[in-house]
Structure 1
Amino acid sequence: MNDGLTDAVRRFQWFYACHVKAPHELVEHSALSLTETRVLFAVMHAGTCTAANISRTLGLDTGYLSRMLTQFECAGLIERQPFSGDARRHQVSLTTDGETALAVVSTHVRDEVSAALDAMTPDERAQLLASMGCVQRLLAPAGDAQRVRLRGPRPGDFGWIVEREAHLAPGGMQSQRKWETRTATVVADYLTAPDPLRNGCWIAEQDGVSVGASLLIGMSAGSARLSALFVEPGVRRGGIARRLVKACVTFATESGYDRIVCAIDLNPAPIAPLLLHFGFEELSGQGEWEKRLKGPAAI
């Protein structure tokens, strides 16, 4: 465990608690205890859930939680209905009284957050939103569902591509500067291409946060190059790189290219298995891979 990183996370938690109070830090506005407030908020956000869902989400002992839910039910804060197909399980949802019990706390939470956001400029709010998305993505449990979509580039995306490829490059500062120069040249070629409709760029977004990108640039009437491809650490297992390459292959095919080429060192992470999956073949001794889109070798 990195003690320095652990201390940094704890400092951030304390900073957040002091400046933008979370619901469980506003229990002075409610007759409920800290844990009771957390449980009711979990039910509220889920809409309808089971006790097992709440136990996993909050890390609570099932027996302790069961007794608490019984107390809530007796107080009229929640209702439990038999789960469809399994009478031993119950679906939990808030009653009107339960929603009222949380209303005061919710109002104070919104007021605290709104006060913090009102002091920011629109650009600062956008930066905050993106940063929170990154924190949520990196700290989320591995089993959480990933909502990923591919989109076209927006203003600022190309600068982000250069910055992220440089940051993710292996080696020290010299290697990163070399990679930054290479990616900046690639981006310049993309932006100054005589026929921009023959080039393609895709940004992968996960829950609204940019987590990867790919660039396809025409080299000639018949050839295109997969010139940039990266995915942020921690999300590669979600199949994002595969979707980015597939977008390039589909675009190149529809644009009438005969082939796609790319360098094996395109990405700091090994991509040979990914290229093989899409039918790329290694060009012996040239350090490049090629996929034929037309003719007998096309897949």
Structure 2
Amino acid sequence: MQEQNQIEGIRKFNRFYANLLGKIDQEIYSPAFPLTEARVLSEIEAQKGATATEIREKLGIDRGHMSRIVQKFEEDHLIVRQQSVKDKRQYGLLLTPDGQTVHNELVQKATKGVSKLVDPLEPPRLNELTAAMTKIQQLLSNSKQKSAPVTIRPYGPGDLGFIAHLHGTLYAESYQFSELFEYYVLKGLTEFMANHEGGELWIAEVDGEIAGSIAIAKSDDDTAQLRWFILAERFQGLGIGKRLMDTAMAFCKEQQYRHVFLWTVNILETARYLYSNYGFRVTEQKPNSDWTPSEVLEERWDADLAVEHANA
């Protein structure tokens, strides 16, 4: 009986959430570009080079319907087919520049729709909401991905370029950051590579695939800066971010730093929630209009480790 009540509770939440998102979808999509087509376009962007069959099976779309969508996208010059290097019989799907433009417009509309939805929430309530969503995603994530081995290791040859690429693509797709942000990240990484005394950068790998990174850079003898904390979207919600944070904070204690700070932006709610769990607090804010179409707030967060050292 208890299990039946739990199942009904899940179904009730599903009905509520589907109705909630449906209201957003009505404002974003139109008969000329319905939701299913938007989902296919997003998957083509996310799974660059995936075949039509792979995308169809992931989204649960009828074979005939998928075929018509692909044909329409090709006629509208939104996608191109590219022959697989592994199997000459297979063709992956890629967005054209026009397709990328359409995808970016849909992302912007979706972002505005969600922002409008959560705008009445105070920051603590919004933190609770995003944390709950992260937990749901973590619990219901693909079991194979969850069981894949996760490795945290120091960076090696080629890693820093990939981390800059990951920042550039993820922030552009999710938050419409410009290429200036990737330049900012790459510049900092090259400076770190030239001199990282008192610091370290770690790479998280899932089953041998790079999932994200985190770094500690020395600011002075007592102070360190936490930098380049990022996770690819497909690996978020699996607890990897916490492992990276644990690694970085343990390093700070080993190096006997008494203070740690970081810079972030106010729109990264999940990361901000995680920082607060590690004792970081916002100490400074300043507007930034260099990276995004609309102004964001850069935030400095600080954590004091002096008390822990005193008690050690």
TM-score, reference length from structure 1 = 0.52
- CA distance change for structure 1 residues 273 and 208 in 2, over 3 Å: closer, same or farther? same
Task: State the partner residue of 2:31.
Answer: none
Pairing 1:1-299 to 2, within 5 Å after superposition: 1=36, 2-4=39-41, 5=43, 9-10=51-52, 19=87, 142-144=142-144, 145-170=147-172, 175-193=177-195, 196-265=196-265, 270-285=270-285, 287-295=299-307
- CA distance change for structure 1 residues 209 and 269 in 2, over 3 Å: closer, same or farther? farther
Tell me the CA shift for residue 235 of structure 1. Answer: 1.3
Of all paired residues, the percent bearing the same amino acid is 18
Letter in 1 for 2:178: Q
SS in 2 for 1:187: helix
Tell me the CA shift for residue 217 of structure 1. Answer: 0.7
Find the aligned partners of 1:298 and 1:142 in 2 and give their Cα distance.
43
SS in 2 for 1:210: strand
Find the aligned partners of 2:264 and 2:278 in 1 and give their Cα distance.
14
**Over aligned residue pairs, what C-alpha RMSD do you find?**
3.6
- CA distance change for structure 1 residues 197 and 210 in 2, over 3 Å: closer, same or farther? same
SS in 1 for 2:270: coil
Find the aligned partners of 2:50 and 2:207 in 1 and give their Cα distance.
25
Contact 2:201–2:216 (CA under 8 A) maintained in structure 1: yes
Unaligned runs of 5+ in 2: 1-35, 56-80, 90-139, 287-298
Tell me the CA shift for residue 260 of structure 1. Answer: 0.7
Tell me the CA shift for residue 263 of structure 1. Answer: 1.3
Structure number with the bigger relative contact order (C-alpha 8 A, sep ≥ 6) is: 2
- CA distance change for structure 1 residues 225 and 17 in 2, over 3 Å: closer, same or farther? closer
Letter in 2 for 1:10: A
Unaligned runs of 5+ in 1: 22-139
Q: Deviation per CA, 1:70-99: give whole Å up to 9, x if none.
A: xxxxxxxxxxxxxxxxxxxxxxxxxxxxxx
- CA distance change for structure 1 residues 16 and 229 in 2, over 3 Å: closer, same or farther? same
- CA distance change for structure 1 residues 219 and 141 in 2, over 3 Å: closer, same or farther? closer
Letter in 2 for 1:169: Y
Contact 1:169–1:268 (CA under 8 A) maintained in structure 2: no
Max Rg structure: 1
SS in 2 for 1:271: helix
Contact 2:256–2:309 (CA under 8 A) maintained in structure 1: no
TM-score, reference length from structure 2 = 0.50
Letter in 1 for 2:181: W
Aligned length: 179
Letter in 1 for 2:243: R
SS in 1 for 2:265: coil
Task: State the partner residue of 2:130.
Answer: none
Task: State the partner residue of 2:131.
Answer: none
Task: State the partner residue of 1:66.
Answer: none
